[in-house]
Structure 1
């Protein structure tokens, strides 16, 4: 991936003079992506690949947020602009899209895919273009310009297994299955399983898969033969539907819990829907979009008005939150009269108790640490907005509080 990044670096397009270099507008220092009228932000998303549903929801939520900010006067006398590129969860397209947009934008409130962010991590740090990825791998921690929002996958998995042990019958001495994508996402989640297994006396039965593996029949057979009592899934929605559906058809009646990327409400309309509502749970870095809070209700109302034909899911919350965090950093940077990339990053460090109304406060003061160690446990439910209801409020397992994620 690094070789790929270097190979495409030379084809970077040139930004307009209005968006490149440093200067001063009205006493405010400016740099890349900032003109006298506009602050340009980048979104590197997946609209056509394995996370197409997620990417669409995140992008639409961010466009809605920016539209509302602009209607309220913008930031620092400037309108926000979101420049979107679809990489289709393809590594070459993802790196090429970063190369194209980096000179043109101030930063990125969206970048889907831990492996792709990791592939250009050194370049992001050198470019100083703040990235708020929709990816939760602890391997992304450490750079002051890549800031994960919420608990990383290892923390999230520890909290998920804590739920299985406290509420779903998993106990010391049991075997725990873990089906996971190869690469950053799945392997970081696996660290959480291994840590929890050591702490709680479990044995992990591992099943590594590729993002292109959509049929989980072989994995279910292997886990059933091994005698696992519960399963963690660190993959995508398609894998979740197959895993849960095949398990139900084979009378493999064990609880299955996924990381936050492993669900889409559209799954509830498939043949796997009944099995998902019965035997599947999701760990998440926030309350679901259908939560009974004033902020959630307002977001649902506004989103439905803007996109009346689109479904709601937790991607809406993730996109909205990242756009809000980036905008708060921009507003603080404006107060500091420094809208350069370094100024925005410095402003983000001051957000040490950010709360967007979805259940978990975020601390961005330390780039080496996750902004939270807490997770909300959710369950599929066809009767609620977004298809997920919270069954355990935000919290961190004791094993998560004693664990340190490392990038």
Structure 2
């Protein structure tokens, strides 16, 4: 009888010890979540995002964490599936009890997750491109990449300088491609642009020759713009060259701003222009550029850790993570509402995508100056000189 009583006391003490240990662990850490497309058709976006978050959370924790707490990063891979993304978002809220979220690789997965985080009142910093992520403004939703509307405006600004006004569009029907096409059509009149041809393709299409032939035969055509991401734009670029359309200026979007696009498109990418972040041309920036230090250090750290070339997509994750971390420091709290308020107050944050100044009416905080117009020459990114 005595031994049974002793055993019960020991078990109770053990349970109390485990509970205390768990409580102490919980007090010393803070969970942040992420849902990324690490595999699937958008893996070229999600993989560098995943590697960036893991790399820098480790660095932050090694340096002592945030306000004395270690970050616990919980990542799920949605494979580019919007339904899976929503399921994982719910899990982050209900099971993992994260205080904030940095993720959402694509526009489609992001839009599926927004209601979950809005309802839970947990700040969500998306890594997706479409303007609809932050327009209209939602209280708990922010994002780091330049918008598709900004990409259209930057491209049209460059076309206007070249006195090219009659434009053909060939757009992906994916969430980003469709959204950017709509934005380009919407803002074209503001820049004196006339859309003289308008074709599209499915993300699964393996040849866009038919659509490009129609565009090529359009009277008065002066330039072509390809809103899209994934492998589609690389196929379009190869088909463009095969049809001998290289004499017609060709623009891609920031949705292809990684070395993998150049590798996939090969020699056909020569001469293609696109708006992108300074990260891709960090070594070519003047010494007094405020972003030079940030993009150079990120590039060196990422490439040393992964043995892979840097992409703007990993840069979006870097910006999202550090906007969150700085907000947590200012809030001096793990309360999601207080963190949200500080994210919205972000001013003068120098990231890989530009200098961020958010406000209650702007949950992106970037203007057109954050975009650089690049041209692919010799298989590499080059800054387009002013007026050229």
Same fold (TM over 0.5): yes
Out of 302, 320, 323, which is 1:322 matched to? Answer: 320
Residue 131, structure 1, aligned to residue 124, structure 2:
yes
SS of the residue corresponding to residue 43 of structure 1 reads strand
The within-5 A match list for 1:251-270 is: 251-253=244-246, 254-270=248-264
For structure 2, the residue ranges without an aligned partner over 5 or more in a row are 1-18, 284-291
Residue 185, structure 1, aligned to residue 176, structure 2:
yes
Change (3 A) 1:348 1:177: same
Structure 2 residue aligned with 1:208:
200
Q: Give deviations 1:136-188, integer Å, cap 9, x for gaps.
A: 22212211211122432112211112112214x413xx2x1222233542233
SS of the residue corresponding to residue 26 of structure 2 reads coil
Structure 1 residue aligned with 2:228:
235
Structure 1 residue aligned with 2:83:
92
Change (3 A) 1:229 1:319: same
Distance in 2 (alpha carbons) for counterparts of 1:381 and 1:77: 47
SS of the residue corresponding to residue 200 of structure 2 reads strand
Residue 305, structure 1, aligned to residue 314, structure 2:
no
Residue 379, structure 1, aligned to residue 375, structure 2:
yes
SS of the residue corresponding to residue 73 of structure 1 reads coil
Distance in 1 (alpha carbons) for counterparts of 2:54 and 2:310: 15
- C-alpha deviation, 1:322, in angstroms: 1.3
Runs (4+) of structure 1 exceeding 6 A deviation are none
The within-5 A match list for 1:315-354 is: 315-334=313-332, 338-354=333-349
Out of 92, 102, 114, which is 1:101 matched to? Answer: 92
Q: How many residues align?
A: 349
Residue 115, structure 1, aligned to residue 108, structure 2:
yes
Q: Which has the larger radius of gyration?
A: 2
Distance in 2 (alpha carbons) for counterparts of 1:320 and 1:120: 20
Residue 61, structure 1, aligned to residue 52, structure 2:
yes
Distance in 1 (alpha carbons) for counterparts of 2:214 and 2:93: 45
Out of 41, 53, 63, which is 1:50 matched to? Answer: 41
Out of 357, 364, 381, which is 1:388 matched to? Answer: 381
Change (3 A) 1:89 1:51: same
Distance in 2 (alpha carbons) for counterparts of 1:296 and 1:76: 25
Distance in 1 (alpha carbons) for counterparts of 2:353 and 2:385: 11
- C-alpha deviation, 1:206, in angstroms: 2.0
- C-alpha deviation, 1:342, in angstroms: 0.5
Change (3 A) 1:281 1:36: same
Distance in 2 (alpha carbons) for counterparts of 1:69 and 1:82: 11
Change (3 A) 1:94 1:212: farther
Change (3 A) 1:201 1:365: closer
Distance in 2 (alpha carbons) for counterparts of 1:101 and 1:211: 29
Q: Which has the higher contact order (CA 8 A, sep 6+)?
A: 1
SS of the residue corresponding to residue 273 of structure 2 reads strand
For structure 1, the residue ranges without an aligned partner over 5 or more in a row are 1-16, 26-33, 394-407
SS of the residue corresponding to residue 170 of structure 2 reads strand
Structure 2 residue aligned with 1:159:
154
Distance in 2 (alpha carbons) for counterparts of 1:381 and 1:73: 43
Out of 76, 96, 99, which is 2:67 matched to? Answer: 76
Q: Give deviations 1:381-400, integer Å, cap 9, x for gaps.
A: 456xxx4333268xxxxxxx
Change (3 A) 1:216 1:264: farther
Aligned-residue RMSD, C-alpha = 2.5
Change (3 A) 1:381 1:80: farther
Q: TM-score, normalised by structure 1?
A: 0.79
Change (3 A) 1:202 1:252: same
Distance in 1 (alpha carbons) for counterparts of 2:101 and 2:204: 27
Distance in 2 (alpha carbons) for counterparts of 1:190 and 1:231: 12
